[in-house]
Every structure is written in C-alpha cells, then in structure tokens.
Amino acid sequence: MPAYNERDTIEEILRQVKDTGLASEIIIVDDGSTDGTRDILAGLDGKDGVRVLLHDKNMGKGSAVRTGIQAATGDVLLIQDADLEYDPRDYPALLQPIEEGRADVVYGSRFLGGPRRAMLFWHALGNHILTLVTNILYNAILSDMETCYKCFRTEVVRDIPLRSRRFDFEPEVTSKILKRGYRIHEVPISYYGREYSEGKKITGWDAIPALWALIKYRFVD
C-alpha cells in the first residue's frame, strides 16, 4: 500500500482491508508524507499484521510499490492505493483466478461493467489510449492497463527488474509481464474515483512518461 499525504483516508482503507480477512500482512510504504500521515502510521506499525516502511523523501508511487514488493513475504501480492478509490471487497474476485491455478497475474478492470463513480472524461480517455497502445505494442487485449488493482504471484513480479519511480510503474510492469509470456487475467471491479479537489494526484501530464515507457520497454528490459 503506497501512501503519500493520505491522513484523511489511511485508517479507513486499512480497516476495509482488514475486514476482508484475506491479508496475511499489510505493508504500508509512506512515500515522504508531510500532512500527518506518518504520525497516524506510527501508531499502527506492528499491529494486526501491519508493517510500515518509510521513505525519507517523496520518491513517487513506483518507488513505493517497488519497496513494498521487495519487503513482502507472502505468496501473492496485491497493490492497494491508500485512498478510497478501490474497494477491498473485490479481493476475492482478484484472487480466485490465481487460487484456481488459472492465472499468475490478475488485473482489476474498471471498464468491464462493475459499479463505478463517473470518471473525469479526459482521465478516462487517457486510460483508454494508453491501454490501446499497450495492446498494439504487446499483442494483448487488455481493457484497463492503468488500474491500481494488480495481483501477482510473488515469484512472478519479484524476478522482474523494475526501475520506474512514478506513475510509469503501471506501463513498465505490464509491458515486462507481457514480454515474459504471462497472460493477464482481468476481472471487473468497482471504482470510486476522486476529484482533484479530493486529493487525486495523477494528472494528464503523467500520460506522457507512461506512453514513453510503453514504447521504451517494448525494445529494452
């Protein structure tokens, strides 16, 4: 769970994750928060399977996810944002293909018919364009490459060299999974996207490095 300045949501999302009863450990990586999130996390570390790791300064979501991947001890990893856009009640659907041996990687798609809050038009369009480019470059049929909900067998993602520091993590990990021959299983999820006034951090400008990452990692590793 990467977290950056999420003091208003961190305790609630943590409660929701615990309520699923499916997380054997919850690794929260605070990416240099300055709004009091760290004070809240200090009281949670070491309790009920929660581990808190701290970055001295803000390094980006990709860096926080990479830190969490290396620290995890479980057989299956699932990425959970620290806001309330994604609903942990979707965990059983995300885990089922892996538990049944039908997939090594599962993505939760916001565009397969699950309930969702109306998304910002330009944000949704950017997602569709980046997903289309992914499908063209890597011969895939994904519907939502940029989703936060990515679930992996630990051995799959830990063996992949990851370098992205910011939101270009999504295209990097997707491209390298597809290049290695792992097909991504998608399941519908619910989505409650935030407005920028509510703390949403990704912007349209982040699509540019994401697009470059898709192109670059098609030819290099």
Structural domain of residue 178, as residue ranges? 2-219
Read out DSSP for 3-44?
A: ESS-TTTHHHHHHHHHHHT--S-EEEEEES--SSHHHHHHTT
For residue 98, what is the domain's CATH number? 3.90.550.10
Q: What confidence score (pLDDT) does residue 118 get? A: 64
Calculate the average pLDDT of the chain. 92
Total number of domains in the chain: 1
Band of pLDDT at residue 42, cut at 50, 70 and 90: very high
Average pLDDT over residues 18-46: 96
The pTM of this model reads 0.90
User: With pLDDT > 70 as the criterion, what percentage of the chain qualifies?
Assistant: 93
pLDDT over 60 (residue 5): yes
Model confidence pLDDT, tens digit, residues 128-182:
999 999 999 999 999 999 999 999 999 999 889 999 998 899 999 999 999 999 9
Runs of H (alpha helix) within the chain? 10-20, 37-42, 61-71, 91-99, 121-138, 154-158, 169-179, 207-219
pLDDT over 80 (residue 126): yes
